[in-house]
């Protein structure tokens, strides 16, 4: 995908990207930004795996899907929560 973006003037790309599969964030997304290509997130719910896993976990108050687009700090917080690297205490993580 990266080679194609550098070789051709693509208007948009489609890439597998979700909180479960974040590999594109470090490689593909920066090149898309650099080249001005729009990104369509393919499988953003990880083939419904996110729905099933989220249904089994209590979600913190900040996971209400409202408000501003997550900034880098919030995305890191979301990733820590998802990866289980922090302990959920009910209000903040």
Rounded-to-integer distance, Cα 85 and Cα 11, Å: 37
> How confident is the model at residue 44, as a pLDDT?
79
**φ, ψ at 27 (rounded to 5°):** -120, -60
Q: Is the pLDDT of residue 32 over 90?
A: yes
Q: Is the pLDDT of residue 92 over 70?
A: no
> How confident is the model at residue 85, as a pLDDT?
58
DSSP code, position 36 = T
Cα separation of the two ends of the chain: 35
Closest CA to 1 of 36, 21, 28, 22: 28
Rounded-to-integer distance, Cα 89 and Cα 71, Å: 22
């Amino acid at each position: 995908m990266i080679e194609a973006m550098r070789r051709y003037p693509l208007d948009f790309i489609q890439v597998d990207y979700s909180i479960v599969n974040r590999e594109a964030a470090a490689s593909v997304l920066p090149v898309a930004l650099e080249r001005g290509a729009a990104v369509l997130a393919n499988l953003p719910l990880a083939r419904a795996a996110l729905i099933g896993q989220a249904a089994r976990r209590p979600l913190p108050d900040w996971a209400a899907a409202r408000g501003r687009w997550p900034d880098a700090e919030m995305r890191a917080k979301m990733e820590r929560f998802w990866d289980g690297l922090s302990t959920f205490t009910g209000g903040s993580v």
